[in-house]
């Protein structure tokens, strides 16, 4: 693979350009893109032009760069989460209808919950779990539900490296939260992300009883009815798991 003078490969540079967009930012000026990806303007321009020819980027008038519609199409039509999302969507709609709350679906990626699908109700409480958003395991009910059913080895590895940037939680507390979630069959977190909301999540297990996702809702504290929410979520999670098979 060909290397530039600075020693990075073309593949590295392609990745740096795609990664240069901060979360939720859909367009960047070419000069800012060059800055953020650490490339000389001329190299960035050449690379952007090449990627634009293939529709992976979109280079507009005035040097505005966006991710290309073609890239979005390619990634979404063959998404690694396609089967999971297709299996889950009807059940998520059921939950949304029955509970009238925000519903989300997350997978474990590293030590974070990555939200792969979301349904939100207008008028419902804010849900910070955006599609393609992330939250650390220890501050999201989805993350706790995902981690609580992983192997002992993985949990140990997670707790081993655990440091709470806010200094509020110790690994011991997180270990307790995980054990509690595993024992109860659901995870709940009150007011960690938003002071007036409560997150509840349950594991989604495939036919091999491997936890492949977490299904959750975010509800206002005043509407918190665990005895109604948890059975509905668990029922939907079992339905998703059955659809998924192995």
**Among candidates 66, 64, 77, 117, which has minimal Cα distance to 95?**
117
**Interface characters, 155-184, with a second copy (x: CB under 8 A):** ------------------------------
Exposure b/e, 226-245, CB count within 10 A at least 16 = b: eeebbebbbebbebbbebbe
Residue range at the interface with a second copy (CB under 8 A); choices 81-89, 143-151, 177-185, 195-203: 81-89
* Beta-bridge partners for 71: none
How far apart, in whole angstroms, are the C-alpha atoms of residue 165 and residue 37?
26
How far apart, in whole angstroms, are the C-alpha atoms of residue 82 and residue 76?
8
DSSP secondary structure string for all residues of 126-191: P----TT-EEEGGG-HHHHHHHHTS-HHHHHHHHHH---TTS---HHHHHHHHHHHHHHTSEEEES
> Taking CB under 8 A as the rule, does residue 243 contact a second copy?
no
> Taking CB under 8 A as the rule, does residue 195 contact a second copy?
no
> Taking CB under 8 A as the rule, does residue 76 contact a second copy?
yes
> Taking CB under 8 A as the rule, does residue 154 contact a second copy?
no
Footprint of a second copy on residues 88-117 (CB under 8 A)?
Answer: 89-90, 93-94, 107, 109, 114, 116
Task: Pick the binder of a second copy from 41, 69, 154, 207 (CB under 8 A).
Answer: 69
> Taking CB under 8 A as the rule, does residue 14 contact a second copy?
yes
> Taking CB under 8 A as the rule, does residue 26 contact a second copy?
yes
CB of 143 to a second copy, least distance (A): 15
> Taking CB under 8 A as the rule, does residue 120 contact a second copy?
yes
DSSP letter for 223, please.
Answer: G
- Residue 138 near residue 122, CB atoms below 8 Å: no
> Taking CB under 8 A as the rule, does residue 41 contact a second copy?
no
Nearer to a second copy, 47 or 181 (CB): 47
- Residue 147 near residue 155, CB atoms below 8 Å: yes
Lookup: tokens for 214? 């977490």
> Taking CB under 8 A as the rule, does residue 74 contact a second copy?
yes
**Among candidates 134, 183, 122, which has minimal Cα distance to 24?**
134
> Taking CB under 8 A as the rule, does residue 56 contact a second copy?
yes
Nearer to a second copy, 1 or 163 (CB): 1
> Taking CB under 8 A as the rule, does residue 29 contact a second copy?
no
Residue 185, sorted as left (phi over 0), alpha (psi -120 to 50) or beta, turns out to be left
Residue range at the interface with a second copy (CB under 8 A); choices 4-12, 145-153, 161-169, 213-221: 4-12
How far apart, in whole angstroms, are the C-alpha atoms of residue 34 and residue 28?
10
Contact residues toward a second copy (CB under 8 A) are 1-2, 9-12, 14-15, 18-19, 21-26, 46-47, 50-51, 54, 56, 58, 66-83, 89-90, 93-94, 107, 109, 114, 116, 119-122, 130-134
């Amino acid at each position: 693979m060909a290397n530039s003078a600075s020693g990075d490969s073309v593949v590295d540079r392609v990745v740096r350009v795609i990664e240069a967009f901060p979360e939720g930012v859909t367009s960047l000026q070419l000069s800012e893109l060059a800055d953020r990806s650490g490339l000389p303007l001329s190299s960035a321009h050449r690379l952007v032009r090449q990627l634009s020819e293939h529709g992976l980027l979109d280079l507009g008038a005035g040097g505005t760069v966006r991710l290309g519609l073609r890239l979005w199409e390619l990634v979404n039509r063959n998404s690694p989460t396609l089967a999971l999302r297709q299996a889950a969507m009807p059940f998520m709609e059921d939950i949304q209808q029955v509970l009238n709350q925000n519903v989300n679906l997350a997978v474990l990626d590293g030590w974070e919950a990555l939200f792969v699908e979301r349904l939100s109700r207008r008028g419902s409480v804010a849900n910070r779990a955006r599609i393609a958003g992330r939250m650390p395991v220890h501050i999201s009910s989805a993350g706790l539900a995902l981690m609580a059913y992983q192997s002992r080895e993985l949990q140990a590895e997670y707790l081993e490296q655990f440091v709470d940037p806010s200094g509020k939680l110790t690994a011991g507390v997180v270990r307790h939260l995980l054990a509690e979630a595993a024992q109860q069959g659901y995870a709940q977190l009150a007011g960690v992300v938003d002071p007036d909301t409560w997150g509840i999540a349950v594991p989604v297990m495939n036919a091999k009883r491997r936890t492949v996702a977490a299904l959750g809702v975010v509800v206002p504290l005043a509407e918190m009815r665990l005895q109604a929410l948890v059975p509905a979520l668990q029922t939907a999670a079992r339905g998703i798991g059955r659809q998924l098979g192995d």
